[in-house]
A and B are shown apart, each in its own frame.
Chain A
């Protein structure tokens, strides 16, 4: 079922909405949440939480993209769950991609909220200038938390090539953010 029809089900408070959303996005959520969580049961619960959140928030929310909206909720649910359950230890699975960005993105300032928005827009501008392959590779790795091997497969690259491309992308992003004044020279 396409996105508009699923959204219509939500708007009409049809019980089928959740089922259809699960059919449409269950696999994607499983992968996304599974990248963040290291427990299959946690992942399943996270998917259920996400579907419940969809039910609870639509309406009044009217997302432009149900897919992206679902992914955002799923990702945040998974991150929250992971924070709660892994507060005392590090998990290399998602912390690795994020740590990779530590050297690229500027540190938060007092105006963190404002900066986060500005920075996201800047990153979008930079993403727009990249090839589709690089864009997808970057987002899959750092937003979806895909292992490099899986991100590489998405864009038809070998793991080694993707790894090098990601390194170059980070370097380019850092240069771009310097040029835009987000990072000190």
Chain B
């Protein structure tokens, strides 16, 4: 039988194989405060990066305004007086988006402890790669594991938000990342597209506060002082058709979900609330919240399916037929996450009452 399956699969067209073969890996970017501290410690390094036909040098410099900026050069274009390289690393999968922008991600999981590579955006201008002031691409060493991971967004758009330039990365028609740079700080924010009052916006989140935030913020010039705040902003210029309507967020500590309905079928948006020990809603603390893996929402027709997977602690499943409802509590702690679901329902009621009704029905 497996021979038969192999036979079928072997007849799949070239284009699918090409597409999958050429798709570079991409990390699930996660900002970890510990690694931010590492970044700060490593920032004084000059690195030379070999990039599949490109050689890239990254040179940090502290400006007179106290802001650290990075300048990226094509290796061939490095000025003669550039500092000697202190380290050479190989990023096998990084490639160039186009002549204007390239984007690199690194999967931190594949890197030895003590190393870090975050996200790199660079633009190309006049033979010299100019820098976005995003604090990135800093690591102490590269130990030989596959470290560089790259993918090509469908598109990167440059737009302006609140008088500041942002780069929006579009994947599958959805804003998936926004880089915000105003010369004094930059940070990566999570975002998701949604429609509100006819405009497609993005939900932005900065780094959240952590116990040692002050220390990190002091060491890290790019650490935004408003870390932990959740902003909902609209970025003009994005008005996709048939995008639907849900956005929900819990502030100020960590959680956010968004749903957008696409052609009636729903699209999941995943968020990863990381390392949050206490989860709050507007109604107050509802219990320890263990940093988990995935939170997915789906709107399928009139029914909501919500899957939560928090390191195996809890799961919700609401199936389309409404009958196969399963709610699992944390057996070890006895925690009841229904208030969390209730909060979600109330939020949903504001925008999709029909789905919320079905959601309620499943819970009973």
Contacts and interface: CB of A to CB of B under 8 A. Distances in A.
Interface of A: 27-28, 63-65, 67-69, 71-72, 75-76, 79, 95, 98-99, 101-102, 105, 107-108, 112, 116-117, 119-120, 123-124, 127, 131-133, 135-136, 139-140, 142-144, 150, 152-158, 160-161, 164
B263 to A, nearest CB: 11
Interface of B: 1-2, 4-28, 92, 105, 107, 149, 151, 171-172, 176, 270, 272, 293-294, 296, 307, 309
A154 B19 contact: no
A144 B20 contact: yes
A161 B17 contact: no
A67 B10 contact: no
Contact of A150 (B2, B11, B13, B25): B25
A135 B19 contact: yes
A72 B10 contact: yes
A133 B19 CA distance: 10
Contact of A67 (B9, B17, B23, B105): B17
Contacts of A120: 8-9, 11-13
A119 B7 CA distance: 10
Determine chain B's interface SS by DSSP, over half rule. mixed
Given A143-B12, A157-B270, 7 more contacts: A65-B14, A117-B11, A131-B172, A133-B171, A152-B28, A156-B26, A156-B27
A26 B191 CA distance: 37
A143 B10 CA distance: 8
22 contacts: A28-B21, A65-B17, A101-B5, A107-B4, A112-B7, A116-B7, A116-B8, A117-B11, A119-B8, A120-B13, A124-B16, A135-B20, A136-B23, A143-B20, A152-B28, A154-B26, A155-B151, A158-B28, A160-B293, A160-B294, A161-B270, A161-B293
Shortest 6 CB-CB distances between A and B: which pairs?
A120-B11, A156-B26, A68-B14, A139-B20, A108-B4, A65-B14
A116 B4 contact: yes
A124 B270 CA distance: 27
A114 to B, nearest CB: 11
B302 to A, nearest CB: 19
B6 A154 contact: no
Contact of B9 (A133, A142, A154): A142
Most buried by B among A102, A112, A117, A155: A155
A108 B7 CA distance: 10
Nearest to A123: B12
Nearest to B149: A153
Contacts of A67: 14, 17-18, 21-22
B277 to A, nearest CB: 20
A105 B9 CA distance: 11
Given A67-B21, A119-B8, A120-B11, A102 B296 contact: no
Q: Which of A69, A117, A123 has the most CB of B within 10 A?
A: A123
A112 B16 CA distance: 23
B25 A139 contact: no
B14 A64 contact: yes
A124 B21 CA distance: 16
